[in-house]
């Protein structure tokens, strides 16, 4: 999705156009959801995309009714779960279910992540140790609520993918 957005920005200089994009996921040639974006001067995306809408829907329908604190809801509105999901499962990114991430592991159900996060009672000054990085999604959530997050994973391929994702999305306080 990032590459598609960069291409749209490059082609939209000094224009105000609306673009419909059918994302083709390069790894397996799978087609993703249709994404509608409005691109303005200097290529700034002016309208939220498909994933933003699905993320808001997930929070409002599945997490908020659990009585989760406002500051945690705000984090869930911002952290892009689809970026932590393998391409072949991208359509399930905002379902309130666990999703396979490879090596027999899953990214946890968002409502469960929210409840576990709330149970920590974070104030923002903490250093958090997470055991089992997996996709890096929980670490990304925690990074917006704690001073630093230290995360440990035993499966090398998951470590590499999570590290790349967290770095690309600039979760700089995750170690």
At 100 the three-state DSSP class reads strand
Give the contacts of 168 (CB within 8 A, at least 6 positions apart): 2, 83
108 assigned to active site = yes
- Contact yes or no for 160/166 (Cβ under 8 A): no
Query: Whose CA is closest to 141, among 86, 94, 75?
Result: 75
* Bridge partner residues of 45 (DSSP): 39
CA distances (Å), origin 149, targets 28, 34, 67, 88, 166: 32, 34, 25, 28, 12
* Active-site position among 108, 111, 135, 143: 108
CA distances (Å), origin 140, targets 26, 82, 86, 131, 133: 25, 12, 16, 14, 10
Q: Cite the active site residues.
A: 108
């Amino acid at each position: 999705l990032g590459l598609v957005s960069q291409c749209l920005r490059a082609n939209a200089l000094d224009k105000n156009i609306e673009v419909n994009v059918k994302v083709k996921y390069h790894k397996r040639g799978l087609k993703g959801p249709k994404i509608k974006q409005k691109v303005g001067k200097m290529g700034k995306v002016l309208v939220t995309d498909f994933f933003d809408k699905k993320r808001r829907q997930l929070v409002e329908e599945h997490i908020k009714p659990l009585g989760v604190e406002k500051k945690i809801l705000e984090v869930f509105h911002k952290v892009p779960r689809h970026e932590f999901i393998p391409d072949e499962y991208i359509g399930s990114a905002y379902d309130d279910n666990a999703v396979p991430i490879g090596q027999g592991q899953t990214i946890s159900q968002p409502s469960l992540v929210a409840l576990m996060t709330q149970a920590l009672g974070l104030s923002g000054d903490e250093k958090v140790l997470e055991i089992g990085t997996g996709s890096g999604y929980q670490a990304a959530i925690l990074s917006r609520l704690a001073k630093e997050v230290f995360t440990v994973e035993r499966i090398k391929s998951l470590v590499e993918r999570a590290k790349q994702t967290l770095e690309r999305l600039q979760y700089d306080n995750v170690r």
